[in-house]
Amino acid sequence: MTRPEAAIAILAWVIIAAQTGLNISRDGAPLDVIWSQLRFFTFLTNITVAIVMTRAALTGQRPGASLSTAITVWITVVMLVYHALLNQGFTPDMIDFYTDHGLHTVVPVVTIGWWVMRAHKGSLGARDAALWCLFPIAYLLYALVRGLIGGTYPYFFIDPTRDGWATVGAWVAAMTVLFFLVGCLYAYSARLLTRKR
């Protein structure tokens, strides 16, 4: 078992479980709560990080360069979007404060640190960055379909009932560009770090 990966896996699972437990304590119906949480990119990405790190910890094999960087790109954007767009004026209760920032700040920062210090990096480029955009694009389509069926959208910027489909399209394009640019930044940084080593 590799300790850094195991530590990140445990941290991520504990935070996910704590937030889920809090939501269940307020809303009841565990399956409904879990299904509701799976509308959010934050939860899906934290779960992905937890799964990848768990597998690495159990097998003793770190994920390859592309997967390592992909999960780091996704969780980085979770943190950036939360602090830039979603956390404005939001003041959660004491326990929620810790779980909320655990999902949006702690797990991202720890994952970024792991990527810098331990992740395989290899030779990555813009093509990889474009490939890493497929998961966020698939998520956006999934979230929109769920919203159309259930009438509830996880984020204001993909809610067509708020500002119309043209605005949603602009936000989707902007988010895709953001993921691509962050991916390119990591790909370039990977090359620099590989050369230094």
pLDDT per position as a tens digit, 164-191 = 999 999 999 999 999 999 999 999 999 8
Tens-place pLDDT, residues 51-86: 999 999 999 999 999 999 999 999 999 999 999 998
Q: How far apart are CA 153 and CA 144, in angstroms?
A: 7
Which tens digits make up the pLDDT trace of 154-165?
A: 999 999 999 899
CA distance 118 to 63: 10
- pTM, rounded to two decimals: 0.93
Q: What pLDDT is attached to residue 161?
A: 94
Number of domain units in the chain: 1
Domain holding 44, by residue range, is 3-196
